[in-house]
Structure 1
């Protein structure tokens, strides 16, 4: 029997990585769908980005245990970009951002992102988070949210009054609140129970409650992945002459890169394995976003929730993050109705 360090053992930690990949897959599945819906795009595009983040970025050098996919930190940017330029332009934006990340990695600019103050990034993400929360409160009540971030926040009192007078809105809000409660309280349950990710448990329990009580709430529809792949056409590239589109590309590039590299630094503190090579990780993110752009999908970044789940589940090599992408692909391809 080969020892874990035996040179004849090609995959010495396959058992640990296999188990971790299943945990990350179960965490990533509802998050990929949720980020897509919050971004105002078809749910399938979130799954495609998760698959690319797992398989494409996962196979490349950089960070060994960090997991990539669609991120909440870019939700507001994606929503505004789609509203302003249209869904076909999203592929162009993501493709251009990916190519810029590849160039920055090749020029060894990854380390310079560490010069950015953490408080600046946290402030930026906190601001984005407020807009996301405000927008999702409308969605939780089944109401149409205003377009701009300020209007979302300013319109909450009126939305509350409207929701109180609607049985359907109250049922939807109760279901959403219950989902959040399960995720928060799940961490207080025994460790054996926590083997099942809290996000997955919340989604499953809420879905069962919806079906059991016949709640009148809107449901997410996921169709075939191939029908959702929409490579940007030549006419979409004409938008590159628009200064506003160029600004959006730069914003995507900088925020996605900073979030990924800050996440890498955080993940490195969670394990004793190889440290992240920042320039290579930046190129891995660029390669993933280039593929996502060509497929017309959401942008990807490294995400700390899935990455920390990967580490805590016992992952030892990049095989876990690649396998989680494979499980997403098989699930979306074989069981879209689920």
Structure 2
């Protein structure tokens, strides 16, 4: 694998800045790894395994120097749907297949092409995921099971008001309050991250007062590992399964590479090599899949914490995986005191951060079409599912781009008792009604010269329509001649004999 030997040989003793940053990232990652697993409907240990692999495998490989990988809130909806549809035993095959495809895309140097995905589609995807995530975790906030499917979750919210456990709701809302208010105390927030403080306080309160709320169940890492079996390979022949696998690849890769671009803006160190980063993410997912764990992506929250804590090299992100491994192996029972409602509050908070609320008004003022793409993508994810929503968003973005690019100008001037119609721009089928309306409005008792030399692109639909228009005009006016070379020659003169 390119760059792997040199990355290992270049390893040097850890500096104080990287060591401190690794502890900060570990403290941020610990509750998130557990929370994402619980929200995905899988054992909490699988989230820890993915976090460990994100540090020890993806963290060691070249690509991005300071970006941190692990289980992400952006994939919880897709993982939950996949586990419900195919079972937990098949999750590893999905993640392994996605990882191998990511490696192949990286080797084919396709990493940079993910930057060509419309930002509005990515923001819409994250907004849709955030909305579904919030709707699902509100039920966990009240210690109640969530209905299946996004529409069911939203439809059941009114009935949740009377059914929720008020003690769990109080703990969850208190956790949310700490998550919002703690970062405002900047000096303390630099030492202890908000998610750890919020979950720690919630655990202490439920323990001291003996509140009967559901708690996380963690046993051991080895018990959670689910190696792949050959009997699962038959799923690769199912169309729905392959579609889910491709959705894993698209979303995990796009989220990782967009996160890399954001992290690069936070520091002055080496820039990300997108192809190598895609290979690193693929290698991490391949290992996670072989262990039956959750998929991983680069995560902006952990990455930003790493940069702000003063990290200088990739050693900090590798060490955070070491601390996760030590904690999960030595103290798994410590996680059993965490109330589920506290983790739900962490994910509700994360879900709100996925929705680009502040960007919506400026985006609407400057690029209304992009806002429509964002809104349609998010709405489609809520109403259907993640894969179909993203696919619709991509198609809409392509259609919008085609519409924006197909500008055509039609100008009519008189010259020597003749009408000259000059057409310029990109004449595509999208602008054909405008073009034909202008031509059909021309008087039939005048000579007409159609000048297409200003047309940069003339598609087949427009060329055929113009030829047909010229033929009808000759027939209507009894014209006997068509000078020059016709439409294909980019200029034609039609003389009327009436």
Would the TM-score normalized by the shorter structure come out above 0.5?
Answer: yes
Q: What is the aligned counterpart of 2:179 among 180, 183, 205?
A: 183
Question: What CA distance in whole angstroms lies between the structure 2 residues aligned with 1:248 and 1:275?
Answer: 31
- Where 1:143 maps in the other structure, the secondary structure is coil
Structure 1 residues 157 and 21: alpha-carbon distance in aligned structure 2, compared to 1, 3 A threshold: same
Q: Deviations over 1:180-216 (max 9, x none)?
A: 1101100111414541111100011010000111111
Unpaired runs of at least 5, structure 2:
1-9, 335-498
Residue 27 in 1 paired to residue 23 in 2? no
Tell which deviates more after alignment, 18-27 or 181-190.
Answer: 181-190
How many residue pairs get matched? 325
Per the alignment, residue 310 of structure 2 pairs with 314
Question: What CA distance in whole angstroms lies between the structure 2 residues aligned with 1:75 and 1:285?
Answer: 17
Superposition TM-score, scaled by structure 2 size: 0.64
Question: What CA distance in whole angstroms lies between the structure 1 residues aligned with 2:193 and 2:138?
Answer: 24
Unpaired runs of at least 5, structure 1:
1-8, 164-168
- How many angstroms does 1:235 deviate by? 1.0
Structure 1 residues 291 and 266: alpha-carbon distance in aligned structure 2, compared to 1, 3 A threshold: same
CA RMSD of aligned residues (A): 1.1
- Where 1:314 maps in the other structure, the secondary structure is coil
Per the alignment, residue 43 of structure 2 pairs with 42
Per the alignment, residue 412 of structure 2 pairs with none
Q: Is the 8 A contact 1:36 1:43 kept in 2?
A: yes
Per the alignment, residue 78 of structure 2 pairs with 77
Larger Rg computed on CA atoms: 2
- How many angstroms does 1:233 deviate by? 1.2
**Larger RCO (CA within 8 A; separation ≥ 6):** 1
Q: Deviations over 1:116-143 (max 9, x none)?
A: 1212101111001111101001011111
Question: What CA distance in whole angstroms lies between the structure 2 residues aligned with 1:322 and 1:192?
Answer: 25
Per the alignment, residue 14 of structure 1 pairs with 15
Per the alignment, residue 206 of structure 2 pairs with 210
Q: Is the 8 A contact 2:51 2:69 kept in 1?
A: yes
Question: What CA distance in whole angstroms lies between the structure 2 residues aligned with 1:40 and 1:88?
Answer: 13
Per the alignment, residue 135 of structure 2 pairs with 134
Question: What CA distance in whole angstroms lies between the structure 1 residues aligned with 2:239 and 2:186?
Answer: 54
Question: What CA distance in whole angstroms lies between the structure 1 residues aligned with 2:122 and 2:155?
Answer: 25
Per the alignment, residue 153 of structure 1 pairs with 154
Residue 120 in 1 paired to residue 121 in 2? yes
* Moved >3 Å (runs of 4+): 9-13
Q: Is the 8 A contact 1:13 1:317 kept in 2?
A: no
Superposition TM-score, scaled by structure 1 size: 0.95
Per the alignment, residue 3 of structure 1 pairs with none
Per the alignment, residue 220 of structure 1 pairs with 216
- How many angstroms does 1:337 deviate by? 0.4
- How many angstroms does 1:53 deviate by? 0.3
Per the alignment, residue 110 of structure 2 pairs with 109
- How many angstroms does 1:161 deviate by? 2.2
Q: What is the aligned counterpart of 2:295 among 291, 299, 319?
A: 299
Q: Is the 8 A contact 1:110 1:282 kept in 2?
A: yes
Question: What CA distance in whole angstroms lies between the structure 2 residues aligned with 1:123 and 1:10?
Answer: 40
- Where 1:337 maps in the other structure, the secondary structure is helix
Question: What CA distance in whole angstroms lies between the structure 2 residues aligned with 1:156 and 1:108?
Answer: 45
Q: Is the 8 A contact 2:183 2:189 kept in 1?
A: no
Specify which structure has the higher proportion of strand.
2
- How many angstroms does 1:323 deviate by? 0.2
Q: Deviations over 1:125-165 (max 9, x none)?
A: 100111110100101111111010110011100111222xx
Per the alignment, residue 97 of structure 2 pairs with 96
Question: What CA distance in whole angstroms lies between the structure 2 residues aligned with 1:233 and 1:85?
Answer: 14
- How many angstroms does 1:246 deviate by? 0.2
Question: What CA distance in whole angstroms lies between the structure 1 residues aligned with 2:75 and 2:275?
Answer: 21
Per the alignment, residue 327 of structure 2 pairs with 331
Per the alignment, residue 239 of structure 2 pairs with 243
Question: What CA distance in whole angstroms lies between the structure 2 residues aligned with 1:13 and 1:319?
Answer: 7
Per the alignment, residue 275 of structure 1 pairs with 271
- How many angstroms does 1:12 deviate by? 6.8
Question: What CA distance in whole angstroms lies between the structure 2 residues aligned with 1:194 and 1:141?
Answer: 31
Per the alignment, residue 68 of structure 2 pairs with 67
